[in-house]
């Protein structure tokens, strides 16, 4: 996932096309754990978090990603797993990408 984050071309080049990556522009990463993205909202009036990883697995995976990012790329900032955080940002868009990587040993669905 880290390589995907660093290499995904989402920033405009001189022609206005999305051909530049975080790495290309010397940008930074802000890694924030957010298990609510795994919510199943298909039925009812309340989200189900059954699809989310168990908290201890989520913590381990997030901390691994953060350690890899700090070891091989700068600048990096990160949130704290399980903490109540207030994150302020400017979403420069309307462009939002949800980058996912299928679990090892599985075949990707091609949707992320």
26 pLDDT more than 90: yes
pLDDT of the residue at 109: 55
pLDDT digits (tens, 9 = 90+) for 32-83: 988 777 788 899 998 888 888 888 888 999 999 999 999 988 799 999 988 8
Query: Which CATH number goes with the domain that contains 58?
Result: 3.50.80.10
Q: Which DSSP string do the residues of 46-85 spell out, in sequence order?
A: S-B-TTSPPHHHHHHHHHHHHHHHHHH-SSEEE--TT---
- Where in the sequence is the domain holding 8, given as residue range(s)? 1-112
Query: How many distinct structural domains can be found in the chain?
Result: 1
Where do we find the tokens 């189900």? Answer: 48
Average pLDDT of the residues of the chain: 86
Which residues are known catalytic residues? 34-36
What single DSSP character describes residue 38? G
Question: Predicted confidence band at 12 (pLDDT cuts at 50, 70, 90)?
Answer: very high
């Amino acid at each position: 996932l880290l390589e995907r984050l660093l290499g995904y071309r989402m920033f405009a080049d001189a022609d206005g096309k999305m051909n530049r990556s975080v790495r290309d522009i010397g940008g930074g990463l802000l890694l924030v754990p957010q298990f609510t993205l795994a919510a199943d909202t298909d039925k009812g009036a309340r989200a189900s978090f059954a699809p989310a990883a168990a908290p201890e697995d989520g913590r381990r995976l997030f901390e691994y990603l953060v350690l890899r990012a700090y070891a091989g790329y700068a600048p990096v900032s990160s949130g704290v797993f399980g903490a109540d955080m207030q994150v302020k940002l400017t979403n420069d868009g309307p462009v939002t990408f949800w980058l996912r990587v299928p679990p090892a040993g599985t075949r990707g669905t091609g949707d992320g």
